[in-house]
């Protein structure tokens, strides 16, 4: 049986500041999300009125609500990943009838970036042959770890009724839902910006990091729907 959080057990306030020093806060309740912008008003949003959540890479996620403007939750929000996970857990409870087998792929921008990196590596190796075998083997020894890292990155994930298919560059594997211990959000930050990721914790203590995925939050919710059944 999965040891996971299901539903909101108690209210907690999460605070956020925008780049213009405007403060927002969010409360989670059993039946609704409470949103307080800096104008002092308070909006109670029933979970069923949330249409979808979209990641704005590097900055925030936007919650789209029936009949209202979207609500931004910035990565800089206190306990952002915990807040986002709790929201998604609530949605997985009320959207469980919406599950259907579907495939999620990397963003076209990231696929283009990967293709460029692989092409550069291959061209450098081919070019080094003309400069001598010594340079070729030096570059090969440097590129092998990078190649292994690229190969291990998931490029597509397909949700089936009983398992998740993870496809890498040269191979694919199937993971049964009962092999997954838990899933979490994480924000990776570097000199180029911040990226929203999903961490799959397997029962064999291995971990799979998923990022740069189209509809990454929808993937989390749909996967959680299946985990709720195990």
Q: What pLDDT is recorded for position 165? A: 97
Nearest to 14 by CA among 32, 33, 40: 33
Nearest to 57 by CA among 185, 197, 174, 166: 197
Listed by start position, the domains of the chain span 13-97, 98-108+153-228, 111-151
The token duo for 153 is 């990155």
* CATH 2.30.29.30 corresponds to the domain 13-97: yes
Q: Is the pLDDT of residue 161 over 70?
A: yes
Cα→Cα distances 74→8, 94, 96, Å: 21, 24, 27
In terms of Cβ atoms closer than 10 Å to its own Cβ (0-12, 13-18, 19+), residue 207 is exposed
Rounded to an integer, the average pLDDT of 221-225 is 96
- Low-confidence winner among 38-42, 117-121, 191-195 (lowest mean pLDDT): 117-121
Structure confidence by residue, pLDDT tens digits, 66-116: 988 899 999 989 899 999 999 999 999 998 888 888 999 988 777 776 677
**Nearby residues of 117 by Cβ (< 8 Å), 6 or more positions away:** 150
Matching fold, domains 13-97 and 98-108+153-228: yes
Q: Please, what is the average pLDDT of the chain?
A: 85
Total length of the chain: 230
Question: What whole-number distance in Å separates Cα of residue 34 and Cα of residue 47?
Answer: 10
Instruction: Give how far the C-alpha of residue 116 lies from the chain's centroid of Cα atoms, to the nearest Å.
Output: 23
For the chain, the DSSP string reads: ------S--S--EEEEE-TT--EEEEEE-SSEEEEE-TTS--EEEEGGGEEEEEEETTTEEEEEETTS--EEEETTSTTHHHHHHHHHHHHHHH-GGG---EEEEB-HHHHHHHHHHHHHHHHHHHHHHHH-HHHHHHHHHHHHHHHHHHHHS--EEEE-SSEEEEE-SS-EEEEEGGGEEEEEEEEEEETTEEEEEEEEEETTS-EEEEESBTTHHHHHHHHHHHHHT-
For 98-108+153-228, CATH number out of 3.40.50.1010, 2.130.10.30, 2.30.29.30, 3.90.550.10 equals 2.30.29.30
Question: What whole-number distance in Å separates Cα of residue 139 and Cα of residue 128?
Answer: 8
Give the pLDDT band of residue 5 (cuts 50, 70, 90). Answer: low
Give the pLDDT band of residue 175 (cuts 50, 70, 90). Answer: very high
């Amino acid at each position: 049986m999965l040891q996971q959080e299901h539903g909101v057990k108690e209210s907690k306030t999460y605070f956020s500041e925008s780049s213009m020093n405007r403060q927002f806060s969010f409360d989670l309740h059993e039946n609704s999300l409470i949103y307080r912008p800096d104008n002092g008003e308070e909006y109670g949003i029933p979970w069923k009125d949330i249409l979808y959540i979209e990641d704005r890479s590097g900055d925030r996620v936007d919650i789209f609500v029936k009949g209202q403007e979207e609500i931004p939750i910035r990565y800089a929000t206190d306990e952002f990943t915990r807040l986002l996970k709790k929201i998604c857990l609530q949605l997985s409870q009320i959207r469980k009838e919406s599950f259907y087998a579907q495939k999620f792929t990397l963003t076209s921008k990231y696929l283009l970036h990967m293709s460029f990196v692989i092409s550069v590596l291959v061209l450098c190796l081919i070019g080094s042959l003309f400069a001598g075998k010594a340079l070729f083997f030096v570059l090969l020894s440097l590129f092998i770890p990078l190649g292994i890292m690229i190969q291990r990155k998931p490029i597509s994930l397909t949700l089936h009724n009983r398992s998740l298919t993870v496809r890498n560059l040269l191979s694919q594997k199937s993971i049964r839902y009962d092999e997954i211990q838990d899933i979490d959000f994480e924000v990776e930050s570097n000199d180029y910006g911040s990226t929203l990721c999903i961490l799959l914790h397997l029962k064999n203590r291995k971990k799979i990091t998923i990022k740069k995925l189209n509809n990454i939050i929808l993937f989390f919710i749909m996967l959680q729907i299946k985990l709720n059944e195990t």
